[in-house]
Structure 1
Amino acid sequence: MTLSHRNYRAAIVGTGGIATAHARAIAASGGRATLVAVADVDLGRAKTFAETWDVPGAHASLTDLLREEQVDLVHLCTPPQLHAPQALEILEAGATALIEKPPTLSLAEFDTLIEAEGRSAGHVATVLQHRFGTGAVRLRRLQEAGELGRPLLATCATQWYRDEAYYAVPWRGTWESEGGGPTMGHGIHQFDLLFSVLGPWREVTAVAARQARDVDTEDVSMALVTFESGAVATIVNSVVSPRQTSQLRFDYEHATVEVDHLYGYTDDDWTITPAPGHEGVSGLWAQGHSTETSGHDGWLSAVLDALDQGQAPPVTAADARRTMEFIAALYASAFTGERVRSGQITADSPFAPTMEGTGAPWEKVRNK
């Protein structure tokens, strides 16, 4: 029996740079979703965006949009400090909130969204599109089939470069408006993909530093992570690295699997190196080679598939919470010097209401 697809009425809130990726994904959905309205605090910018994408409705606020339009999905492309209150407003209207990363400024804020989702006909999902590229899907499939053996070791590096002009945007580089540095806003894509492959993390030991940028948050962080499976990993997040790269390497019993890209990968960015005696995994990896780039198109397709089946869209609240808890644990370890276990950041932890927690060490030095 063929599953019939419905058409979802979609809206975009925030018409800055990333909104274009969302509009393209909606346009590429083959009629499964239709962009019917946009909103921006700059109504002129909203109208220009609407004209570009042939959208009938343009509004000056999310409140106006929800009052005047019937929508199923709202894509939140606004600055991070607006994500939680706007997602709550969307859920209260019975629509599904699709939130750009980071979904909230803190773990406590995210838990508020989970509670609201339980009262709503809608869902909440985070845009972490690299989980849905064909290489990541193939890797998880081969791992689950046992073709690669046990995962032993992984390395994950997001080493990007963001100059002072980048941080001249008022909401960047502060705990109050961005929630954190490259751990929150940049590396989250890569280590979320790592978690989607290796599963639940168990404990983290980390450092964070402000090396070069005049910001409140870190500009570099590093973590040693142990997983429930027994695998171990290193995670590096940086915005001070002139040679930019996004790299993941997974060492299994039977093969090493790697991807090296920047903001999106194709199958050509992945390599597999079989262990002696396991050369057959190379043939398995080569099956179904694709030229598609990991991005919003594949993510939105997965969202619509889930909704068609009456399921919560990926990345679900539970999935995203695991990643957000890791971020809180990384900061807690870095700022206290202690190893932090999964489940340790409870509601009464100073790192639950804010990722800054007990305070960044460099701020304590500055304030002496």
Structure 2
Amino acid sequence: MSQPSYRAAIVGTGAIATAHARAVAASGGRARLVAAIDVDPDRATAFAETWQVPRVHTELAEVLREGEVDLVHLCTPPQSHAPLAIVCLEAGVTALVEKPPTLSLAEFDALLEAERHSTAHVATVLQHRFGAGALRLRRLADAGELGRPLLATCATQWYRDEAYYGVPWRGTWESEGGGPTMGHGIHQFDLLLAVLGPWREVTAVAARRARSVDTEDVSMALVTFESGAVATVVNSVVSPRQTSELRFDYERATVEVEHLYGYTDDDWTVTPAPGHDAVAGLWSKDHSDVPSGHDGWFAAVLDALDGGQAPPVTAGDARRTMEFIAALYASAFTGERVRAGEVSADFARRMDGTGTPWEKVRNA
């Protein structure tokens, strides 16, 4: 029996849409783009010509009414993610949502409720989970080959200048939902959470150090996991030497990756603990030069759909990451340690909760 070919539409034809179009093109015919949608018809037309998309629209509703689409890739600014995803779910169409999937934890719960009443699914694009190195690490850890996880460090230290924030929706709680904690570091610490499992509590700080934005431009957190492992998480958009780093210290080895926006196996290193040299051999099996990115994530989505399953990253997976973000902000802005399941209503509704320290100073 031949594999199905899923009909896909892309909403929002800006820069990130190119990664989605490439992933569809790389699927080997398992999916095909049938519509490009953008409020700017000229931009949508140019995108459609580049990627040989047959139809151009200015509204998602037009495409859903026609009933000729199976998947919708949401590549719009964050404030529109949840409303558009809910419209897709109501139409029985699976929504593939760029990060962050929603502006708040409460909005994410509304998305979960919409999924419960739909035959379709919603999945968040957190593509670093699907690179060969991450998959290998999770496989070895789950098999007990690395021993207990003890300590981890996670750093997203990027640089975004003032011109970057000239785009109106960037740098505000109302339209972006947060700063680098929400929109930049999410890739690295989502992988941290995917590897180490359920987190238990967070103690954090967040600050606005250099950018003229409403949100933070740096944050740091100390995290304890249910396994007992502890981790540090750093998120920044003010760091001239840019890097994305993860380090996992297990009983039998240290496993590290340093990259920027995507990794290959060459970016990973393994340092066995004394007496555990066999770990290096286990790691070196099945070496891959394929970079992490949207291609691997989308292939995993198609595999799940072929099997009648919810595509990764599931709504439940993404909710754990969104709750972590809300807890980090709640701890940073209240000075309190926040446990999983105990994010207050204020910070569930808005990531800035009752207000940031710098906003309170300005209004004093």
Q: Distance in 1 between matches of 2:58 and 2:177?
A: 25
> Which residue does 1:98 correspond to in 2?
96
Q: Secondary structure at the match of 2:97?
A: strand
Which aligned segments of 4 or more residues in structure 1 are displaced greater than 2 angstroms?
none
Instruction: State how 1:1-368 maps to structure 2 within 5 Å.
Output: 4-345=2-343, 349-368=345-364
Which string of whole-angstrom CA distances, capped at 9 and with x for unpartnered residues, describes residues 227-253 of structure 1? Answer: 001100000000000000000000000
Q: Secondary structure at the match of 1:350?
A: helix
Which string of whole-angstrom CA distances, capped at 9 and with x for unpartnered residues, describes residues 56-99 of structure 1? Answer: 11001111222235111000000000001100111111000000
Aligned positions, number: 364
Q: Distance in 1 between matches of 2:84 and 2:353?
A: 24
Match for 2:251: what amino acid? E
Which string of whole-angstrom CA distances, capped at 9 and with x for unpartnered residues, describes residues 247-290 of structure 1? Answer: 00000000000000000000000000000000110011000000
Which string of whole-angstrom CA distances, capped at 9 and with x for unpartnered residues, describes residues 323-360 of structure 1? Answer: 000000000000000000000025xx100111010100
Identity %: 80
Contact 1:11–1:73 (CA<8 Å) still a contact in 2?
Answer: yes
How far 1:5 sits from its partner (Å)? 2.1
Match for 2:177: what amino acid? G
Contact 1:138–1:285 (CA<8 Å) still a contact in 2?
Answer: yes
Q: Distance in 2 between matches of 1:5 and 1:250?
A: 38
Q: Distance in 2 between matches of 1:224 and 1:362?
A: 22
RMSD: 0.8
Match for 1:91: what amino acid? L
Q: Distance in 2 between matches of 1:178 and 1:249?
A: 28
Structure 1 gap segments, 5+ residues each: none
